[in-house]
Amino acid sequence: MNLRAVVLLALLVMIWGANWPIMKMGLSHLQPFWFASFRLALGMASLSLILLPMGRLRLPPRADWPVIASLGLFNMGLFLALTNIALLVVPAGRSAILAYTTPLWVAPGAALFLGERLTRGRGAGLCLGLGGIVVLFNPVGFDWGNRSALLGNGLLLLAALSWAAAILHVRGHVWRSSPLELAPWQMLVGLVPMTVLAAVVEGAPRPDGSFELIWVLAYNGTLATAFAFWAAVTVNRLLPALTVSLSFLCVPAGGLVFSSLMLGEGLSLTNMGGLALIVAGVAVVAVVGARERVA
C-alpha cells in the first residue's frame, strides 16, 4: 500500500475530525454565514496559490460547468451554511455524526433518481444507519420541546441530504478537468451567494479580532478546505475507493473524540451507540456497493 497516501489519509481524517469543535469555537467570534464566506474565500485563495505555479489554474471547460454549479452550491455553500447554523445549538460531536450520514441517503437517492437497484445489502445498511439516527434522537430522552435543538438537528440532516444530492448529480459526470482544478471554481460558486446571503441576513461582518478567530479561520481555509481537498483527491487516486470510503467513517468518530477533548463534551452512550450503528450502516453500503461493481 502507498505509504504517502496512507499518511495523507490519516492527516485528512484528523484534520476534518478536529475541525468540528474548531468550527464551533470560531462561531463564537463571527456570524455563521460570514464564517462560511471567509472559509470559502480563504480556501479558494489557498488552492489558487497551489495551482497557479503548476499552470493548472485556468477557466474550466463548458462541459464541467454543471458539476461546478452542483458541488459549489450544494456541497460547499448550502452544506456549510446549514452546518454552521446548526453548530450554534448542537454539540460539535453530535453534529459531525449527523452530517456524515450522507452516504446513507445516496443509496435510496440513486434508486429513486438514477434507476439503480436498492439491493438487500444496501437496504440492510440503510436500516442500520437509520437505526443509529433513531438512537441519536433517543425518543424517550430527547427534549422534543426544545425547538432550537430540533431545528439544529434537522438542519444537519438537511446538510447531509444536500451533500448527497451533489454526489448523485455528479455520479455519472465525465470529467474534462480534474476535480482539483475545478475546486477553486466550485468554491467561487459557493462563495458568491454565501456572501450575498451573509450581507442580507447578518449585515456587515463583525469579527471580534481575537487570536482564536484568526487561527480558526486560518485552519479552516488552508488545512480543512484547501489542503484537505488536495489530499482527498490524491488519496482517491492512490488508494482503493472502498479503503478511502471506510476510512472517512473515522471522521465523525474523530469529531466526537476531539469535541470531548477540546470542548469538554461528554461521550454519552447515546452518541456512541448512534455513531456505531451509522458507521456500520455506511460500511455495509460501501462494501456491498464495491462488490456489486466488481461483479
Lowest mean pLDDT among 42-46, 169-173, 227-231: 169-173
Q: What is the pLDDT of residues 118-153, one digit of tens each?
A: 788 888 888 988 898 888 877 666 677 888 988 999
CA 4, 7, 13: angle at the middle one, nearest 5? 140
For residue 1, pLDDT over 60 is answered with no
pLDDT-based confidence at 292, cuts 50/70/90? low
- Calpha distance 42→30 (Å, rounded): 15
pLDDT given at position 238: 80
Single-letter amino acid, residue 269: L
Reported for 152-156, long-range contacts at CB under 8 A and 24+ positions apart, including other chains, are 152/85, 152/86, 152/87, 152/88, 152/89, 152/90, 152/95, 153/86, 153/90, 153/94, 153/98, 155/82, 155/83, 155/85, 155/86, 156/82, 156/83, 156/86, 156/90, 156/95, 156/98, 156/99
C-alpha cell at 271: 452518541
Q: What local confidence, expressed as pLDDT, does residue 293 receive?
A: 60
pTM: 0.89
Burial of 162 (0-12, 13-18, 19+ CB in 10 A): buried
pLDDT tens-digit map of 214-267:
999 999 999 999 898 888 878 877 887 667 777 888 899 999 999 999 999 988
Lowest mean per-residue pLDDT among 79-83, 200-204, 237-241: 237-241
Q: What is the mean pLDDT of residues 86-110?
A: 89
Please give the pLDDT value at position 102.
Answer: 85
The chain-wide mean pLDDT, for the chain, equals: 88
**What is the pLDDT confidence band of residue 169, given thresholds at 50, 70 and 90?**
confident
